[in-house]
Structure 1
Amino acid sequence: MASLKRLLIGKPMETKRLKHEKLPKWKALAVFSSDALSSVAYATEEILLVLALLGTSVFFYSLPIAVAILVLLLLVTLSYRQIIYAFPSGGGAYVVARDHLGTKISLVAGAALMIDYILTVAVSISSGVAALTSAFPGLLPWKVELAVALVLFLMVLNLRGITESATVFAYPTYVFIGFVLVMIAVGGWQLWHEGWHGFTMHEHASSAHMFASGYSLFILLRAFSSGCSAMTGVEAISNGVPAFRPDSSKNAAITMGWMSALLGVMFLGITVLAAGFGVTPTEHQTVISQIGRHVFGNGLVFYLFQLATMVILVLAANTSFAGFPQLTSIMAKDGFLPRSLAARGDRLVFSNGIMLLSVLAIVLIIAFHAKTHSLIPLYAVGVFLSFTIGQSGLIKKLWKREEGRKFGVLLTVGTGAVVTGIVTLVTMVAKFTQGAWIVIVAIPLFVWMFIRIHEHYKKLGEQLRLDEREWQQREKLLKPKVIIPISGVSKVVAQSVQYARSISDDITALSIIFDEKDEQKLRQKWEKFYPDIPLEVIYSPYRTILSPLLEYITKAEKEADRAPVTVLLPQFIVKKWWHTFLHNQTAIILRFFLIMKKDVVIATLPYHLRE
């Protein structure tokens, strides 16, 4: 097992290597931005799918909706650059809320982010598999298995370490960016020379009266909220600031600027080309695929573009593998998640967080049969809720600092908080019946779980805290009374007696027999070797060992008069694993039941067999 682990994730790294595992900006962009950048592959299509409810005559409104989303992206980017500088330890909205809005609101932010990260993996992998099965329909019956395999592949790659996974993911990300930028440039040149032959405001001016109705306005808002899927993953950089090379805050802020610029250009460019070429969503071909075919033709370049799109959709899940473990490690240090999530593994990554994310994503993929359209309605609620909480906390921080009360910054952050809050509400309402209710219910359940975990750790700390008076009392405790359960006299028992003599003078051997005739034989052999140690023999007419043993130990515990009771369990260890099935496991069963007794110490003394 150890050799397989080394093969998959590599040799352990020393802690001092951690400083060398930090990411340069060009790699960090690929690791933390793949989710946001890949969303341009479907964000425009999500807008058009909602506008289609009013007919293709209103498709031109995808352009002002895209511009509105870009304004929102700019507001969020400016706000989160401030968060990066103010909170260099990472954690994003969770840390901002924890320090300035209170514990409960911070837990809501943490829950929202965790859920969104899990959904990002499930949605990204499922959409990538959907692209693959569209090209190769014969793989369709295996789409769930393929999705699970891809999650496990990403898990292993991330367990190998930050720099290794970053190097692997960087190249496909930049290939996709290059393809999209070239497509936008060539497509823009084609529109310039061929003329705009798609959807126009002039052709459909008569449709303006449609927006007087509340239903049409709701559809516009719903299209806006659907298009905001382009912004999922934008917060990941602020959550992972410690992963950057020094100066980590400055490098993270620069990287966030690059990401937002690329995202804005690609999203607006694709939306303009869709409107200019008159592209409409179809069941078997995505919007970005239709644009690619129009620009690149039907040759090799188009299929390479399709391949790059499929790969980036799968790799988008890696943003979660970078952000989720970082977030859960911070929450674990605060006592709201199991402390094991705060520990770094062999390769200096938060291994337990990576594996937890993989398991939860696989559960979602299996539960929803790797169907992207079933998972997408659950998307975006969490991320926009965290945007709102993060910006609200930043406003409070800036307001407390006299030098931070700059009207322009406060106005920018405040506007961003209000708009993202509205988007959160619209998304909740518009997608409630489609599955968003699951996230709305899950967030309070997560918060309840965090609080219960924290209460457990708090009570545990109180119970384990050792004061001077208690320490002095424990130092005066008597030597323990040792009970050794035996079934006969052997080398295993002899080893146990030898150890018992080293810790106590009060030793008793205890044997449970099923036949009264065996007692005399056992006593004779025992007294031959250990005449100074009393032997208690209990006859069990119903051939049970556990009940009489527990009764005897309970009685001894009451009679001990403050002296601890130690039950020493002799156990021999077999050489070959299959030999285990040839012997009873009495010691293991006894240990399981005795561990629940408050004032009894259970010790196992192994005796290793040669064959």
Structure 2
Amino acid sequence: MVKPVTSFLKRFLIGRPLKSTELGEQKLNKAKALAILSSDALSSVAYGPEQILLVLITIGATALWYSIPIAIGVLLLLTALILSYRQIIFAYSHGGGAYVVSKENLGKYPGLIAGGSLLVDYILTVAVSVSAGADAITSAFPNLHEYNVMISVVFIVFITILNLRGVTESASVLAYPVYLFVLALAILMGTGLYNILTGNVPAELHVPLGTPVAGISLFLLLRAFSSGSSALTGVEAISNAIPNFKSPAAANAAKTLMAMGAILAVLFSGIVVLAYYYGVAPMAEVTVVSQIAEQTFGRNAMYYFIQGTTALILVLAANTGYSAFPLLAVNLAKDKFIPRMFTMRGDRLGYSNGIIILGVLSILLLFVFGGKTEQLIPLYAVGVFIPFTLSQTGMMVKWMRGKPKGWVQKFTINTVGALISFLVTIMFFLTKFTQVWPVLIFLPLLILLFHRINKHYEAVADQLRITTCEQGIQIEGNVIIVPVAGITHVVMNSLNYAKSLSAHQIIAVHVPFEREEEAVFEEKWEKWQPDVRLVTLFTPYRSIIQPLTKFIDTVQRKANESNYKVTVIIPQFIPKKGWHNILHNQSSLLIRAHLLFRKDVIVTTVPYHLKK
């Protein structure tokens, strides 16, 4: 009863199968799409401003005022990215984002670099998000710290199952925490700005803008800028997930992108401004958002509401990866760079294989890095800025080639975005090389894997393709070989099937391990099936496979000379209950596994179903 139990469990966790005609019901409206596709970008507000302060504090507290001009630079980059990806949405409304843009305008390998970077980045998105959420929980409950990885795994399993249930169902559940987080930060910023404007925040907490700082350098400012740019990860997700939107998909995706950009800009700049006026410096045990909330409200219910929604969105930011990874995988699979299985929809009309693979790889990554968020963030950030740079450069080439109306303005937007993205990428490699060097190894290996998979698919297509001038090989007859273990109903069932095929010759093959057994079996066979030729292949090594395959090869060579085909009919009995299979040695499966890789040998299994 294994099958009914697993079927019941699958239906309980995932839900009833949906008809293909219900696909339209699985599309997202703008409100749900904003929540499910921007959770990654919005959650980065919780650590993006802090990354800027972590670099500046190395010079001293007086250098923290530089966070304001650096934040303005990050907002300019955000504006360029939003405008650029808005253009990408309308130019490539079928989805694919940076991969499609880079491939069509820069060539196959730049496209694969962008696509491979994003695939890995979405895996990192899931790992970083759940490990950050687990960190928030274990910070509140230190006794759980040793279970950090296991808590992260539970989160991934939960989000994976939720996404297997369908896009709309996961969006319905995850929308509320995202909007609660936005509401919590809006209240925090509104209250904080009110306190600043009314003079309730002492001026001595911060140094005036423009205060001279000894030891400051352009290199350090660029490093702080690149670190703060980690707040922009996830901006590209909407352009990859256009097929998930309700019609008109491109217009709805563009509006959602603009809304996400506006919210992200307000939240990011608000946190930076409050951190400056409150004189907040980064601390190992307490986050910047936590310090701002505590100074604004004290340790009351509002403080815990902000901390709770922040922890929740850090976990749920993983869902952006689940929304974008499967759709990007579909584009790569259609172009024959990754397995075709990624194009298949599951019972709930989602791309289940992509969802499951993403969950498995994210869990594996967590175990490799021990669930340490700080080791994952640099890889996570550089993995998204490489596609940023390539997609913007690709759009520049597109406008230069086509020169549509208003192309100069579009070209300028993409040029600014490409230059800043390239600068950020270079800064990551210069300042955090010890953390991001694996990119230089796994990315080329990933491109090589894409190339080998594509080469395989092309070779298969070339061999399967039929042209009008080709003629198939004429088959003159059929020689059937039936491996037999004894005189049973299973063997009789297979021999009857073999006789029904009008074969040129039927050969039963028996492999005894003892000489006495050989003579006894031949005598019994002569009485039972005198019209079927029996060949016994004695072996003292107790192996059926080697003598059987050697005999088949001999028969096949002779058969090929006369254009005869060799068919091996394998008798197999099927137990009534699935678990009974472990009580038998499964010789038929081993024989079939060996023969399937032999050319010009046809393998057929004839099942005999047991009744008790």
Q: TM-score, normalised by structure 1?
A: 0.96
- Name the CA distance, whole Å, in 1 between partners of 2:583 and 2:451: 46
Q: 1:542 to 1:452 in 2, by over 3 A?
A: closer
Contact map agreement 1:479 1:503 (CA 8 A) in 2: no
Shift of 1:413: 1.3
User: Within 1, Cα distance between the matches of 2:241 and 2:494?
Assistant: 52
Task: After TM superposition, list the pairs within 5 Å mapping 1:381-420 onto structure 2.
Answer: 381-404=382-405, 406-420=407-421
Cα distance between partner residues in 1 of 2:204 and 2:291: 13
Deviation readout 1:374-410 (Å, 9 max, x if unpaired)? 2122121121111111111111112222324532221
Residue equivalent to 2:494: 496
> Which stretch of structure 1 is more off in the superposition, 512-521 or 245-254?
512-521
User: Is residue 65–residue 208 contact of structure 2 (8 Å, CA) maintained in 1?
Assistant: no
Equivalent residues of 1:377, 1:431 under 8 A apart: yes
Name the stretch that deviates more: 366-375 or 263-272: 366-375
Q: Is the 8 A contact 1:481 1:504 kept in 2?
A: no
- In the other structure, the counterpart of 1:554 is 553
1:53 and 2:58 are equivalent in the alignment: yes
Give the distance between the partners of 1:352 and 1:587, measured in 2 at CA. 30
Q: Please, which moves more after superposition, 38-47 or 498-507?
A: 498-507
Q: Do the aligned partners of residues 609 and 90 (structure 1) sit closer, same or farther apart at CA in structure 2, a change above 3 Å counting?
A: same
Counterpart of 2:162, as a letter, is: L
Checking the alignment, whether the CA contact within 8 Å between 1:183 and 1:295 is kept in structure 2 is yes
1:330 equivalent in structure 2: 331
What displacement does 1:430 show? 1.1
Given residue 595 of structure 2, which amino acid in structure 1 is its aligned partner?
A: L
Q: Distance in 2 between matches of 1:558 and 1:406?
A: 67
Alignment of 1:249-288 (within 5 A): 249-288=250-289
1:3 paired to 2:14: no
Q: Select the residue among 145, 149, 158 that pairs with 2:163.
A: 158
Q: Partner residue of 1:238?
A: 239
Residue 249 of structure 2 is matched in structure 1 by 248
Cα separation, 1, equivalents of 2:459 and 2:603: 24
Aligned letter for 1:223? A
* Alignment match, 2:133: 128
**Given that residues 236 and 323 in structure 1 are in contact (C-alpha distance below 8 angstroms), is that contact kept between their aligned partners in structure 2?**
yes
Any conservation in 2 of the 1:482–1:504 contact (CA below 8 Å)? no
**Segment drifting more, 2-11 vs 526-535:** 526-535
Match of 1:567? 568
**Match 2:73 to one of 53, 68, 87:** 68
**Equivalent residue, structure 2, for 1:305:** 306
CA drift at 1:170: 0.3
- The one-letter amino acid paired with 1:411 is T
- 2:222–2:427: 8 Å Cα contact kept in structure 1? yes
TM-score (norm 2): 0.96
The 1:198–1:165 alpha-carbon spacing in structure 2 relative to 1, beyond 3 Å, is farther
Q: Which moved more, 1:419-428 or 1:499-508?
A: 499-508
The one-letter amino acid of 1:552's match is F
Partner secondary structure for residue 28 of structure 2: coil
Q: In 2, distance between residues paired with 1:399 and 1:603? A: 59
What residue in structure 2 maps to residue 461 of structure 1?
461
Is the deviation greater in 362-371 or in 510-519?
Answer: 510-519
After TM superposition, give the deviation of residue 198 of structure 1 in Å: 5.7
Give RMSD over aligned pairs.
1.5
- State the Cα distance separating 1:196 from its structure 2 match: 5.7
Distance (Å, rounded) in 2 between the aligned partners of 1:413 and 1:198: 42
Q: Per-residue displacement from partner, 1:485-514 (whole Å, max 9, x unpaired)?
A: 112222111110111122232211111123
- 1:536-558 CA-partner distances (Å, limit 9, x unpaired): 12222343322221111110000
The size of the alignment, in residue pairs, is: 603
- Structure 2 distance, partners of 1:2, 1:333, is 30
Who is 2:3 aligned against? none
Cα offset, 1:201, TM superposition: 5.4
Q: Deviations over 1:471-530 (max 9, x none)?
A: x424x3123210001122221111101111222322111111233333444334333343
How far does residue 564 in structure 1 lie from its aligned partner after superposition? 1.4
**Rounded Cα–Cα distance in structure 2 between residues aligned with 1:432 and 1:201:** 33
Q: Does the alignment pair 1:516 with 2:523?
A: no
Q: Is the CA contact (8 Å cut-off) linking 1:115 and 1:439 kept in structure 2?
A: no
State the alpha-carbon separation in 1 of the partners of residues 568 and 353 from structure 2: 35
2:598 partner SS: coil
CA contact (8 A) 2:206 2:279 kept: no
Q: 1:164 to 1:305 in 2, by over 3 A?
A: same
How far 1:363 sits from its partner (Å)?
A: 1.1
Q: Give the Å deviation of 1:605.
A: 1.0
Change (3 A) 1:70 1:3: same
Rounded to whole Å, the distance in 2 between the matches of 1:180 and 1:461 is: 55
Which ranges of structure 2 fall in alignment gaps of 5 or more residues? 1-5
Query: Deviation at 1:326?
Result: 0.6
Please give the residue correspondences for 1:75-474 in structure 2 after superposition, counting only pairs within 5 Å: 75-194=80-199, 195=201, 197=203, 200=206, 202=208, 205-207=211-213, 210-211=215-216, 216-404=217-405, 406-433=407-434, 435-470=435-470, 472-474=471-473
Amino acid of the structure 1 residue aligned with 2:124: L
Distance 1:198 1:252 in 2: 45
* Alpha-carbon separation, structure 2, partners of 1:205 and 1:374: 34
Tell me: CA distance 1:504–1:41, structure 2 relative to 1, closer, same or farther (3 Å): same
Letter in 1 for 2:442: A
Counterpart contact for 1:31–1:319, Cα < 8 Å: yes
Change in Cα spacing, 1:559 to 1:300, as seen in structure 2 (3 Å) is same
Aligned partner of residue 34 in structure 1, secondary structure: helix
Aligned-partner Cα distance in 2 for 1:282–1:577: 58
Shift, 1:137, TM fit: 0.9
After the TM superposition, which of the residue ranges 9-18 and 398-407 deviates more from structure 2?
398-407
CA distance in 2, matches of 1:409, 1:488: 78
Q: Is the 8 A contact 1:197 1:278 kept in 2?
A: no
Deviation at residue 469 of structure 1 after TM alignment: 4.7
Question: Which structure 2 residues correspond to residues 505-544 of structure 1 after superposition, within 5 A?
Answer: 505=503, 506-544=505-543
Three-state SS of the structure 2 residue aligned to 1:536 is strand
Instruction: Give the 3-state SS of the residue equivalent to 2:472 in structure 1.
Output: helix
Cα drift, residue 199 of structure 1: 5.9
